[in-house]
Amino acid sequence: QKERVVTEEEWLQKWETGKTGFHKEQGHPLLQKYLDVLLNGRSGLRIFFPLCGKAVEMKWLADMGHRVVGAEISEQALKEFFTERGVPYREEPVPGISGAKMLQSMSGNISLYCCSIYDLSSAIVGKFDGVWDRGALVAVNPCDRQRYASLMISLMEKSSSYLLVTVSYDPNKHKGPPFYVPETEIKSLFGKLCEIKCLEKANDFSDRHREWGLDYFLEVLYILKFVA
C-alpha cells in the first residue's frame, strides 16, 4: 500500500457519486463508549475532527457544550453535515488560506474548514484539548503520514487526549483506503511525544468488507496523550 496515492479529485468524486460507505449515519459506537476517556472529566473543550466528512459525532459533542473544529476538502460533505443535522450555518473566507472557506454554525460552536488539512496550522485554527481521528490517519496517503502526524502533534495542547481509530485487515487483499496502519507505525509516528495505549480491538466486519475480498476487519482504538 506504500505507493498508493488517492488524489483530492478522487475524494471529491466519491462525495459526488455517493461512494461514501465510510459514513456512519448513527455515529461511531467507539466514541460513545470511550467519550469519558476523551473528555477526562473536562468540560467546554475545543475538539478537532481531522478529515471530518459529515461525521455526526461533531453534533453530539457540540450539543454537550464543546467547541468543534473540522477540516475537510469536500464542500458538499460539509454542507450535507449542516443540512442533515438541521444546523443553520454561514460561510466565511479564511484569512491566510487562499480559496478556503469556513462553514460555521450560526451559534459559532461548530467551525468546519473547507480546505486541505495540510493548509492548516495552529496560527490559523489554534490548539485542541481533544481529537477524534476516525477515517482520518487511515485515509491519508501512506507517503503523507509523517507530515500528517507532525501537523496533528503541532495542533495539540499539552495533556490533550487524542482518540485514534485505525483498521486492521490483510493489506494484500485490499488496496485501501482505509489503509492498514500497524501499531509499530503508530508508535514511530507519535511515540516520541505521546503516551500511547490501545483501548480496544473491535470486530467491524461487514458485507462491504466481504466485497473487498477480505475475511476479517477490525477497528483498533488508541488513546494518545500528548506529554512532551
Name the binding residues: 11-22, 51, 72, 116-117, 134
Q: Compute the 3-state secondary structure of the chain and give helix, strand, coil in percent, each to the nearest 5.
A: 30, 30, 40
* Beta carbons within 10 angstroms of residue 85's beta carbon: 17
d(Cα 134, Cα 31) in Å, to the nearest integer? Answer: 9
Q: Is 11 an interacting residue with respect to ligand SAH (CB under 6 A)?
A: yes
Contact of 72 with 78, CB cutoff 8 Å:
yes
Residue ranges of the annotated binding site for S-adenosyl-L-methionine are 11-22, 51, 72, 116-117, 134
Q: Which residues contact 72 (CB under 8 A, 6 or more apart)?
A: 51, 52, 53, 78, 112, 113, 114
Handedness of CA 139, 142, 143, 145 (dihedral sign): positive
- Taking the least distance from each CB to ligand SAH, the nearer of 73 and 184 is 73
Q: Is 22 an interacting residue with respect to ligand SAH (CB under 6 A)?
A: yes
Question: Interaction with ligand SAH in 71-90: which residues (CB under 6 A)?
Answer: 71-74, 77
Question: Interaction with ligand SAH in 23-52: which residues (CB under 6 A)?
Answer: 23, 51-52
- Taking the least distance from each CB to ligand SAH, the nearer of 72 and 129 is 72
Number of residues in contact with ligand SAH, rule: CB under 6 A?
Answer: 20
- For binding to ligand SAH (CB under 6 A), which residues are involved? 8, 11, 22-23, 51-53, 55, 71-74, 77, 116-118, 134-136, 139
